[in-house]
Amino acid sequence: MKLFLVLSLLIFSCSCDKKTDSGQLFLPNGFSSTVFVDSLKQNIRHIAVNSNGDLYAKYRSLINDKSLVAIRDFNGDGIADTISNFGENNLATNSQDYEWAGSLETGARIRNGYIYYSSELVVYRVKLDENLVPSSKPEIIVVDDHEHGSHEHIAKPITFDGKGGLYVPFGAPSNACVSPKRTPLTPGVDPCIQLEQHAGIWKFDENKLNQTQKDGVKYASGIRSVVGLDWNFENDCLYAVVHGRDNLFRLWPQKYTRWQSAMLPSEEFIKIEKGDNFGWPYCYYDQIKGKKVLGPEYGGDGDIIGRCDQYKDPEIGFPGHWAPNDLVFYTGDDFPSRYKNGAFIAFHGSTNRAPYPQSSYFVAFIPFKGGKPSGEYEVFADGFAQIDPIASVDDAVYRPMGLAFSPKGGMFIGDTEKGRIWKIEFNGNRDRFSSIDLFKMEKRKLNSNIRTPDKEKDKIEIGTDYEYRDGILFKLNSPKEVSVGQELYNIYCISCHQGDGKGAKGRFPTLVGTDWVIGDKKRLINVLLNGLEGEINVNGESWNGYMPQHSFLSDKQIADILNYIRTSFGNKASKLEIGEVRKLRNEKSITMK
């Protein structure tokens, strides 16, 4: 595909033949996939399609101060012809600027002739017209006016009830309401004051400008992190997919195994009615046991129910860390009737399942009948990752994120890794489509990215070198002796920074070849001792997240971990001494630069 830039309009044009998707998506019989657009300049989040077929996608972060991409297929051949960046993201309200160079900007939905879209802190809308890029200026609808030290669970997906209500999550600013954050063996705050303004969904007026949280109504609570939600008009009810808490083994190794930490807790598909409470941070849902149990921060051990019987259970509990990042109910007629009013979920893929393979990276479908789920989830689209098993999150070639249906027919699936959007169409006989056509997709559940891993056979062994050959992971040698530093890294660091040290794009920075690791020893020691919060630059990329402090480790343990990362992943830095850690621990403060 050739893209040509028309500078005055920031428009790209492409000319290419329609081709079978080189991503080799697996779909039920009768469905086909083609590449609608490839190699967009920025990774995308949610997508939406206008009544005329124009597609709008939310960029993960800004491109030349623009937040959205608009895409038009002029000739109807299923291939994008014109691509334009637009959407201001630098507006201010109440004399404050609520924008930053974030990396988890998410929302994009069309409602009553407007494209609504969100940054991490603001929900905007722009009036659409006959132009691909609308001539109107953005308006601010909702502002998250809290003070934010870090970006935990701050995405702002959006949906509408069709009666003037706009629904926006305010995610929990922590993993399990613990202070300091993510510190092992630390009890949770009880009652959790974060529940007052976070970990819930608020309802706003879709047409009122410059609202803040106090202008909305708290609709539901006890919901840790939502990146996908949608309104089901068949039963007139709100649904969401929830990211469960992390780090059961890292934080509570005397209560949980690595396998339990990889599988638990559930990612939840929930039906939300006004006043519902789903129990975060006190409880989590165990999809294996089929019940909510008390979190370890509140005295739980994986079996105790305690207060958790008072909170609402999900409709379906998926395995842990699958990262459900979009949810769309299908209301069209061009797919077979079994898909009518059912729910499609994009699972973006796990990051913290080591030493087991990373999991999900597919699109699921949940059939509905009479306004209720009528069966187990189905694998609708798979093959995004193109490798098996997935050892580290950035090994996956593509990761599904945004879902949208066109009023003109067809489904679109967007990717966050290489800026690709697929178009899915049904070309078979709608009346003859049956469970037989799903058989090959049921077999996909046996693949390593979906199945429950065997506790021993599916481990990606610590201390073993691997490489991919034609998409398959091969072991190069027998397990090597693991150093103390690597073992500590595998307990406290691998869930974020991954086994190869490359981190996870947009979430956890790389440890490979960065001055943060191989440079100033004092700064590196201080990061582990005191944690890090706020924006930093790593290898030319901005990050604004939260690194927990590890002062609970001994001076020797910190030295062992840091010496491991300074001499691994291709890094060749000098070792540091235990005395250097001890000296900095005893100092009152270190200035970070």
What share of the chain in percent tops pLDDT 70?
92
Place of tokens 């939905």: 109
Q: Is the pLDDT of residue 34 over 70?
A: yes
Q: What is the CATH number of domain 21-446?
A: 2.120.10.30
For the record, the structure tokens of 42 come out as 């920025």
Contacts 24+ apart (CB under 8 A), 185-192: 185/251, 185/252, 185/552, 186/251, 186/297, 187/297, 187/298, 188/281, 188/282, 188/295, 188/297, 188/298, 190/282, 190/298, 192/281, 192/282
How many angstroms separate the CA atoms of 162 and 117, rounded? Answer: 17
What share of the chain in percent tops pLDDT 90?
65
Q: Phi then psi for 451, rounded to 5 degrees?
A: -70, 160
Residue type, 270: I
Residue type, 105: E
How many angstroms separate the CA atoms of 293 and 451, rounded? Answer: 23
56 alpha-carbon distance from chain centroid: 19
The 10 Å CB-count burial string (b at 16+, else e) for 399-428 is bbbbbbbbeeebbbbbbbbebbbbbbbbee
Greater pLDDT, 25 or 42:
25
State mean pLDDT over 546-558: 87
Q: Is the pLDDT of residue 16 over 70?
A: no
How many angstroms separate the CA atoms of 69 and 254, rounded? Answer: 48
pLDDT in tens, 73-83: 988 888 999 99
Greater pLDDT, 275 or 570:
275
pLDDT for position 538: 87
- Asked whether 4 and 391 are in contact (CB, 8 A), the reply is no
Q: Which segments of 453-552 does DSSP mark as H helices, in order?
A: 484-492, 494-497, 515-518, 521-530
Predicted TM-score of the model (pTM): 0.90
Place of tokens 């790389």: 510
pLDDT for position 149: 62
Out of 31-35, 36-40, 99-103, 193-197, least confident range: 99-103
pLDDT in tens, 331-342: 999 999 999 999
pLDDT for position 220: 98
How many angstroms separate the CA atoms of 367 and 329, rounded? Answer: 10
Region for residue 247 given its phi and psi (left: phi exceeds 0; alpha: psi -120 to 50; beta: otherwise): left
**What's the topology of domain 475-586?**
Cytochrome Bc1 Complex; Chain D, domain 2 (1.10.760)
pLDDT for position 592: 38
pLDDT for position 506: 72
How many angstroms separate the CA atoms of 451 and 84, rounded? Answer: 40
Residues in Cβ contact with 103 at an 8 Å cutoff, skipping those fewer than 6 apart: 60, 61, 151, 506, 507, 542, 543, 544
pLDDT for position 467: 87
pLDDT in tens, 241-260: 999 999 999 999 999 999 99
Q: Is 486 helix (H, G, I), strand (E, B) or coil?
A: helix
Region for residue 257 given its phi and psi (left: phi exceeds 0; alpha: psi -120 to 50; beta: otherwise): beta
- Asked whether 297 and 283 are in contact (CB, 8 A), the reply is no
Out of 134-138, 372-376, 478-482, least confident range: 478-482
Greater pLDDT, 471 or 273:
273
pLDDT band at 23 (very low <50, low <70, confident <90, very high): low
Which residues of the chain form CATH 1.10.760.10? 475-586
pLDDT for position 488: 85
Out of 125-134, 186-195, 219-228, 481-490, least confident range: 481-490
pLDDT in tens, 373-422: 999 999 999 999 999 999 999 899 999 999 999 999 999 999 999 999 99
pLDDT for position 274: 98
CA dihedral 424, 363, 412, 29 (to 10 degrees): 10
How many angstroms separate the CA atoms of 7 and 438, rounded? Answer: 47
pLDDT in tens, 495-542: 889 888 888 877 788 999 899 988 888 999 998 888 887 778 888 777
- Asked whether 283 and 293 are in contact (CB, 8 A), the reply is yes
Average pLDDT, the chain: 89
pLDDT in tens, 446-476: 999 999 999 999 998 877 888 888 898 888 8
Determine how β-strand 237-242 pairs with β-strand 226-232: antiparallel
pLDDT for position 593: 35
Q: Is 213 helix (H, G, I), strand (E, B) or coil?
A: helix
- Output the DSSP codes for 305-361: -GGGGGSPPPSEEEPTT--EEEEEE---SSS-GGGTT-EEEEE---S--TTSPB---
Which residues of the chain form CATH 2.120.10.30? 21-446
Residues in Cβ contact with 429 at an 8 Å cutoff, skipping those fewer than 6 apart: 30
